[in-house]
Amino acid sequence: MRRVAVIGVGFTKVGEHWNSSLRDLYAQAVLRAVSDADLELRDIQAMFIGNMSSGYLQAQEHLGSLLATHLGIQGIAAVKIEAACGSGGAAFHQAVLAVASGYYDFVIAGGIEKMTDVRTEYLTSALIMADDQEFVASTGVTFPGLNALIYRLYMEKYNVRQEDIAQFPVHEHFYAQFVEHAQYRYPITLEQVLESTIVADPIRLLECSPISDGAAAVVLCPLDIAMKRRKEGIVEVIGSALSTDAISLNEREDPTTFIATVKAAKRAYRMAKIEPRDVDVVEVHDAYSILGIINLEDLGFAEKGKGVRLVKEGEIARDGRIPTNLSGGLKARGHPVGATGIYQVAEIVKQLRGDFGKNQVDDAEIGLAQSIGGVGGTVIVNILKRIR
């Protein structure tokens, strides 16, 4: 197996792109990534595209051929990768395997989701497709509803207060002020979170990720080629693991622990030959505030039931022990579902390059990105390291 590097990143601003189509947003991200890699489009041999709902939201499938054609590189290997909200992370994982295997040298892992073109209730129907249609979605439960169950169970099991969990989006909005591509670049207070509208009890509106459009892309190649092409800014993928769990909460012994995260993290740490304490910066999946807390625990950064302490004690701040979601996370950067996992990887790469502006972590060497599909049915953990 060959060692793999990320040599280019590109993305669009996350938000409501009424005047840009799905294909145009994706092209913007890819062109920026290829330029950042100092390559030409003709150099690309394969493309893995993270997307969840283009068939339902745009009535458009077959994204591999569509987007390769739009970019003028038809003829390359190109496929859509779908793993619900984890689609982008899964696309990156597949791109890593494609390069590591020796089958391709220059590969794009991209992600795209265009979510603002439809009414909210239509989008809600699309998102619940991430769970079992026959036995769960058919009951009328929504995606926020499923996460509300996790939230309530977690508070009761660990005797944790909502006001402590709700500090997580406050943290993210503070850092989103300084992120140019973030959807919501303004701070919020704990009082605003707790007074915002209930979406699914106990989840409040300001604890939820928004409806977002966005596209992101990264370029991967063998590390030895990267070392010859770049004098600096080389980031190696030292761990990449994907794991699954039972798709529905009712089939799990403990819904407050995502076994897929635990398994994927252990595998990725083992591949990377590191432990959680070696990680310098993290991007975790937080479609709802409770997920940010649970994911920090399941990744090994806190004991179960004690994740809120990381927030309260400033441990996830830029100068804390484990800086987390300095992009603004899914809540404030935004959550264009199929692209989110690629945004996370791109943001980690920029941190490791020392190129993340006011939110830069001093001397960051190792970063981790965690991406979730459904309510923990699929989890991807990617670990990257600065080489030079």
Which one of the listed residues 93, 171, 285, 335 is annotated catalytic?
A: 335
Residue 375 CB-half CA count within 13 A: 30
Report DSSP letters for 229-279, one per residue: H-SS--EEEEEEEEEE--SSGGG-S-TTS-HHHHHHHHHHHHHHT--GGG-
Q: Which amino acid is at 320?
A: G
Q: Which helix (H) or strand (E) holds 293?
A: helix 289-298
Query: According to the 3-state scheme, what is the secondary structure of 175-225?
Result: HHCCCCCCCCCCCCCHHHHHHCCEEECCEEHHHECCCCEEEEEEEEEEHHH
CA angle centred on 86, ends 329 and 93, rounded to 5°: 110
DSSP state of 129: G
3 state DSSP class of 281: strand
Indicate if 85 belongs to the active site: yes
Cβ neighbours for 125, distance < 8 A, ≥ 6 positions apart: 56
In Å, the largest CA–CA distance within the chain is 56
Report DSSP letters for 294-329, one per residue: HHHHHTTSS-TT-HHHHHHTTTTSTTSSS-B-TT-H
Indicate if 62 belongs to the active site: no
Which one of the listed residues 85, 93, 208, 285 is annotated catalytic?
A: 85
Task: Indicate the burial class of 353 (C-beta count within 10 angstroms; 0-12, 13-18, 19 or more).
Answer: middle
What would the two tokens of residue 239 be?
């761990």
What would the two tokens of residue 224 be?
């030895």
From CA 300, how far away is CA 321, in angstroms rounded? 13
Catalytic residues: 85, 335
